[in-house]
Structure 1
């Protein structure tokens, strides 16, 4: 499968490009970026071609991997799907329901395969744990904490405009939801949402299976307080999301495997664009509650 990369930022460099260059069943055929010089630099590093015209790249490949801000991604993903390209997308799929729906509609119309890269869903240990817990009945509640210290001088994402604008809800919220939804079931309601310090937000969700969950999300936690934790409690006891020994490149490689399988079989991947849209819908509902502010 000939695949192109859209994006040249830190995430493209540390995650997507190394995986696309290493995957034995992918031909890393080209790079397009909003900055031509950056595309040329990244393409040269991997011995591939830099494209100045995104439509020219779409015409030359079978698939694209996207490492761009979500609003930019959504527009280009729909465009790529209509050009017949399979889609390896990043989270969040989009930051509005309308943008996400446009991607899903383009995927359905053209019958291309789609995979949205939620990291925990493509790490061997965590994906196995999610599958195991999804088969357990009687979960009562879940608690997820995704706490980062992104806006520090040592972070490659410190200058990310979309993260500065949208905050933890949109950056790490998708990670937490990607784990909770397959285990506790569909979200029936965002029951409560409140601001904490910095960009920290707290959410309370009710799930169709009867369980509830709480999420604490932040990109502005003190470095000593940063970390990820997810705990489930139910009739069978307590289960905690394991840490993974794999790096992000291994996860992208597995996501690419998922895209190849979906393209060959025609069977939708569990983390397809439709799942990405559902995550966007939940985050939009949470954002509306946060914008409304507390009630007396």
Structure 2
């Protein structure tokens, strides 16, 4: 299939474009970005074409790959679905419930495939761990810590991201935490949230299964305090996830391309599709509301 990349930031340059270029079943048709000079640079580097017009690239591709801020991604994804294009999206799919619901409605009407790149779902080690924990069942408590030094580390390529500066760790790494907890413990019925130092937030979640979990999220901890981990306690004992900080992103993204292609060919919904992405946005919106009370 023909893949069009929309976005030219660090994520597009470091992960999406290399994965598209190296995937044997993906034709990297072209790239569009809000900065034409960046689109041209990526096109030259990865042997594809830079597009000046969104609709022109939509017309020339079968799959839309989005590497844009979430609230730019959302309306673009609606346009792409309406044009009959399959979607490989980034998390969060949107930062408003309305935006996320518009995407799912457009995808359902068009009957196109969608996959949202929740990183841990596509790294082999973490995906296998997640599947094993789901199969075991009986988990009563969960804990997810995503504590990073993005804003404390001037070398981070994402530190200058305007949407991350505005929305903070809740919206940037909160999806990672929820993507590990929800498939194991079930949907969320209630959320509590409090603020900590910097952009740190702490969430408490009540799951429909009866289990409880917590999430600690931050982009402003010192580098020596960084951590990315999930812990579960239940009838099988206590288990801790594999190291979530050392994931090879390009191979993981190639796996996401594989699974998007499979969903497009079979017509079966992927577990990490826009519906799951919408639910993550809804839970984060609940947390944001609690923080403003």
Paired position in structure 1 for 2:241: 241
CA deviation after TM superposition for structure 1 residue 137, in Å:
2.6
Unaligned runs of 5+ in 1: none
Mapped partners of 1:246, 1:68: distance in 2: 21
* Contact persistence 2:142–2:212 (CA under 8 A): yes
Residue deviations 1:214-236, cap 9 Å, x none?
00000111111012011000111
* Contact persistence 1:29–1:49 (CA under 8 A): yes
Matches within 5 A, 1:168-207: 168-190=169-191, 192-207=192-207
CA deviation after TM superposition for structure 1 residue 91, in Å:
0.1
TM-score, with length taken from structure 2 = 0.98
Mapped partners of 2:258, 2:220: distance in 1: 34
* Contact persistence 2:137–2:184 (CA under 8 A): no
Mapped partners of 1:135, 1:228: distance in 2: 23
Paired position in structure 1 for 2:9: 9
Matches within 5 A, 1:17-32: 17-32=17-32
CA deviation after TM superposition for structure 1 residue 155, in Å:
0.5
Mapped partners of 1:82, 1:267: distance in 2: 19
* Contact persistence 1:8–1:33 (CA under 8 A): yes
Mapped partners of 2:23, 2:137: distance in 1: 37
Residue deviations 1:157-213, cap 9 Å, x none?
1100000000000000000000101100111111x1100100000000011111100
Mapped partners of 2:68, 2:226: distance in 1: 25
User: Which stretches of structure 1, 4 residues or longer, exceed 6 Å deviation after superposition?
Assistant: none
What SS is found at the alignment partner of 1:65? strand
Residue deviations 1:256-285, cap 9 Å, x none?
011000000000000000100000000000
* Contact persistence 2:200–2:216 (CA under 8 A): yes
Paired position in structure 1 for 2:164: 163
Unaligned runs of 5+ in 2: none
Residue deviations 1:22-47, cap 9 Å, x none?
00000000000001111011011111
Mapped partners of 2:174, 2:247: distance in 1: 21
Matches within 5 A, 1:92-241: 92-151=92-151, 152-190=153-191, 192-241=192-241
TM-score, with length taken from structure 1 = 0.97
Mapped partners of 1:83, 1:56: distance in 2: 12
Mapped partners of 2:266, 2:104: distance in 1: 19
* Contact persistence 1:125–1:243 (CA under 8 A): no
Residue deviations 1:59-92, cap 9 Å, x none?
0000011000000000101111111110000000
What SS is found at the alignment partner of 1:135? helix
Go from structure 1 to structure 2 and tell me whether the alpha carbon gap of 1:173 and 1:246 turns closer, same or farther (over 3 Å shift): closer
Query: RMSD across aligned C-alpha pairs, in angstroms?
Result: 0.8
Matches within 5 A, 1:216-295: 216-243=216-243, 246-292=247-293
